Structure 1
Amino acid sequence: MDLYEKIKELASQKNVSIRQVEENLGFANGTIRQWGRKNPGVNKVKDVAKYFNVSVDYLLGLDEDESTTQTVDLAELANKPKDFDWDSVLSVGGKPIPEEDKEIIRRLFAHKLSD
């Protein structure tokens, strides 16, 4: 299965179209469809992998295990310093969480570590 076919399968599992994936990632219409014929840039492949929470190796057929799921403890995250890079561990639909939403998470979960 090539890169495009894997992305198509992942999109189907997530009940989104290829076009919706492109829109969510800020890609031009037809970008991913072209990947069946030509090689994409590495940054775009990384973006797709992050969007579907799979490894780049899985998308490229180098690894059969698609899961890169890691548990994120919101209480632990909420108690990190404000300059912590949340985008490295948490996103919504493959996009960074807005600052106002991060603040809501901080308020909801801060200091819950002792509970």
Structure 2
Amino acid sequence: MTTFDRVKKLCEEQKISIVELEEKVGFGRNSMYSWKKNKPSAEKLERVADYFDVSVDYLLGRTDKKRYYDLTEKDEQDIQKELEKIINNFSDSGFAAADGSSIDELDEEDRELLLTSLEQSLRIAKRIAKKKFTPKKYRD
């Protein structure tokens, strides 16, 4: 996939055209179409990467990870392990809901909602931590 193809895909995700992108980042009309055959300058790559909040490496095809703080497969595994620990702690500690029922006694829908909420909370916390604590030399 070329740089142009990646930019085009990002435009489709944002529901904007290449021409609209060119206007928003201050490029000449149809200048990005030259990216199909020629390599863009570093400055232009940075402007497009900043607009879409992705890394230049992603635009160049060096990685499929759009942002340095995106979760990796290992992060997802860590989240699942942490979720299991939380559930086990709820069960072991005798955690009870406001109505007195334990997590094991919740109906299937309520249990699913609780687990989904906890999982999303762990994902958000992991992304925030990566943004906050990743050293600058490892960011894009």
Same fold, TM exceeding 0.5?
yes
**Per the alignment, in what secondary structure is the counterpart of residue 35 of structure 1?**
helix
State the one-letter code of the partner of 1:35. Answer: W
Residue 78 of structure 2 aligns with which residue? none
Unaligned segments of structure 2, at least 5 residues: 70-126, 129-140
Residue 119 of structure 2 aligns with which residue? none
Larger radius of gyration: 2
Residue 57 of structure 1 aligns with which residue? 57
Residue 85 of structure 1 aligns with which residue? none
1:67 CA displacement? 2.5
**Per the alignment, in what secondary structure is the counterpart of residue 12 of structure 1?**
helix
| Cα separation, 1, equivalents of 2:47 and 2:68 | 14
State the one-letter code of the partner of 2:47. Answer: D
**Per the alignment, in what secondary structure is the counterpart of residue 36 of structure 2?**
coil
Residue 14 of structure 1 aligns with which residue? 14
Task: Say if 1:53 and 1:68, in contact at 8 Å, map to a contact too.
Answer: no
**Per the alignment, in what secondary structure is the counterpart of residue 40 of structure 1?**
coil
1:68 CA displacement? 4.5
Percent identity of paired positions between Structure 1 and Structure 2: 34
CA RMSD of aligned residues (A): 1.4
TM-score by length of 2: 0.48
1:39-80 Cα deviation digits (max 9, x unpaired): 111000000000000000000011110124676xxxxxxxxx
